[in-house]
Amino acid sequence: MSPHTTPTISVNAELGDRFDEILTPEALHFLARLHAQFAGRRQERLNDRMLRRKSIENGRDLRFLPETASVRENTEWRVAGAGPGLEDRRVEITGPTDRKMTINALNSGARAWLADLEDATSPTWSNVIGGQVNLFDAIRGQVDYTSDDGRQYRVETDQTPTIIMRPRGWHLVEKHLAFTDRAGHRRAASASLTDFGLYFFHNAQALIETGRGPYFYLPKLENHLEARLWDDVFTFSENAIGIPHGTIRATILIETIPAAFEMDEILYELRDHAAGLNAGRWDYIFSLIKNYRDRGRSFVLPDRDQITMTVPFMRAYTELLVQTCHKRGAYAIGGMSAFIPNRRDPEVTERALAKVADDKRREAGDGFDGTWVAHPGLIDTARAEFDAVLGDRPNQLERTRPEVEVTAAQLVDLSSLEPRVTDAGVRSNVSIALRYIESWLRGVGAAALDNLMEDAATAEISRSQLWQWIHQGIVTEQGTRITREHVGHLLHEVLREQDRSLSDRFDDAENIVRMVALEDDFPTFLTIPAYAHYLVDQPSARESKAQMAAA
């Protein structure tokens, strides 16, 4: 093949209903341009991640970078800040982009909707492109839905939340699209560039015309060079369609432990496009376990339900985040509350809502400008706590928190956290990992488990704790040594307890849990092998029932 081949994106899958409206020749050409410009740099950044993880594994501690001290010490620079429609972010609802969730989010009364193509979406081909169709319709006020039982769902308010789309992270690929570069090399497309590119190409101008704009949440960043890459993607894309520089706004999730040491630098690289930072607390815990899993028992965490936002290392991280944001004119957005109100058990709901209120009261009191909830039933509770602090103000950027002083050691200091591991905690991790992965394999990335709306971060914490407990030879408070054999036995027990059907994916889910929690190798994300080897589009619920009846 000629060394001067024109870069292309080709589709390696069947087109579903209305997919041709998203995968147009013009949109694919734009994706090809993005990949030609940035695919090589993406791979460089992923290589850097691998080297940093190896460095930490070998005993080198994370630190604030001496070479970027001037960025941190310069008190003059500020970020672009809130774009139109992002001025007040006191409560944001999160969720996947399936048709029904899209309508529920738009009707929710939240200030913003994190339309999630990442951890809350199982990236089947139908979910990825179907989600783009749903967002396309939502932006144009033409989204509705009819359920299998004939019920009609439609947007019933003019005061819809501002949409902030979260693309998949740099580490993921989209195997249904192939990029052929100038040298003729063919490889899977970047999931990040795919999600961003299709959404931006089709919707940027329409969003501007509604008085808002193309806004994004950026997941899983680990350093300021990854932020620089995103900033260059944004500038290239703005130029490509002829909109002003800085029209795009991004909120960056600080959900990896390396990123916590470079918050100033990340904002600086994205300063013309940055709106704020978010405390992505569950992925942050997973990142700490992943990076320090081989560093001895001093880095072993207790049962997941004991890791609250008030423990010292989490407290240090969130305090630093608020201070960094407000020093730079960026919004600080708090963490997720994932409880699902239970109509059948009002007492459970009352206790859970009290915990949600406590959590949001702490965030508002600490200076956060907004927060996340996963269910519409939590919005009033969260809003009340932020209303009590903010009043009529859209934010509290004036609270620069000069009293906060956080050292590098404090961000990874677990010394005051007693590593209490219990038999119940081990079993819970096995159960959550198995049941979430099974749901994910069926195409459901936001899974209702034990009165919580769980996404991939929960399964990552669960399986990474199991791996670490096994490799550190942890013994539970009840005297049980955590071994591969013990966890494997629990996995078999939990599997037997599930209600099985002909269309479930529990057998595949068990294989994945064994792969990502019980092997010597530690996959950096469980979704990488699961996506490559196990995830396929599933028949609709109606088709599944028909197949079961025929069987």
Phi, psi of 170 (to 5 degrees): -60, -25
Could you confirm whether 98 is annotated as catalytic? no
Per-state percent for the chain, helix, strand, coil, to nearest 5? 50, 15, 40
Strands, sheet with 186-190, edge to edge from the N-terminal-most edge strand: 8-11, 173-180, 186-190
Q: From the candidates 166, 212, 249, 328, which is the catalytic residue?
A: 166
Query: Which spans in 163-223 are helix H?
Result: 191-209
Query: What are the distances in angstroms from CA 312 to CA 147, 218, 296, 406, 460?
Result: 46, 26, 19, 11, 22
Q: From the candidates 283, 455, 505, 508, which is the catalytic residue?
A: 455
Residue 358 neighbours by CB under 8 Å, 6+ apart:
none
DSSP for 221-265, written as a single string:
--SHHHHHHHHHHHHHHHHHHT--TT--EEEEEE-SHHHHTTHHH
Give the angle subtended at the CA of 216 by the CAs of 232 and 116, to the nearest 5°: 135
Could you confirm whether 264 is annotated as catalytic? no
The CA-based dihedral angle spanning residues 226, 227, 230, 235, taken in that order and rounded to the nearest 10 degrees: -140
- The amino acid at residue 278 is N
Q: Count the neighbouring beta carbons within 10 Å of the beta carbon of residue 156.
A: 9
As given in the structure block, the two tokens for residue 197 are 């590119």
As given in the structure block, the two tokens for residue 144 are 């509705």
The CA-based dihedral angle spanning residues 149, 152, 154, 156, taken in that order and rounded to the nearest 10 degrees: -120
- Measuring CA to CA, which residue among 220, 221, 248, 223 is closest to residue 234? 248
Q: Count the neighbouring beta carbons within 10 Å of the beta carbon of residue 278.
A: 30
CB 408 within 8 A of CB 61: yes
Residue 503 neighbours by CB under 8 Å, 6+ apart:
442, 538, 539, 544, 547, 548
Q: Count the neighbouring beta carbons within 10 Å of the beta carbon of residue 236.
A: 13
> Is the Cα torsion angle 132, 138, 139, 140 positive or negative in sign?
positive
The span from the CA of 186 to the CA of 473, in Å, is 44
Q: Which helix (H) or strand (E) holds 166?
A: strand 162-166
| Catalytically active residues, by annotation | 166, 455
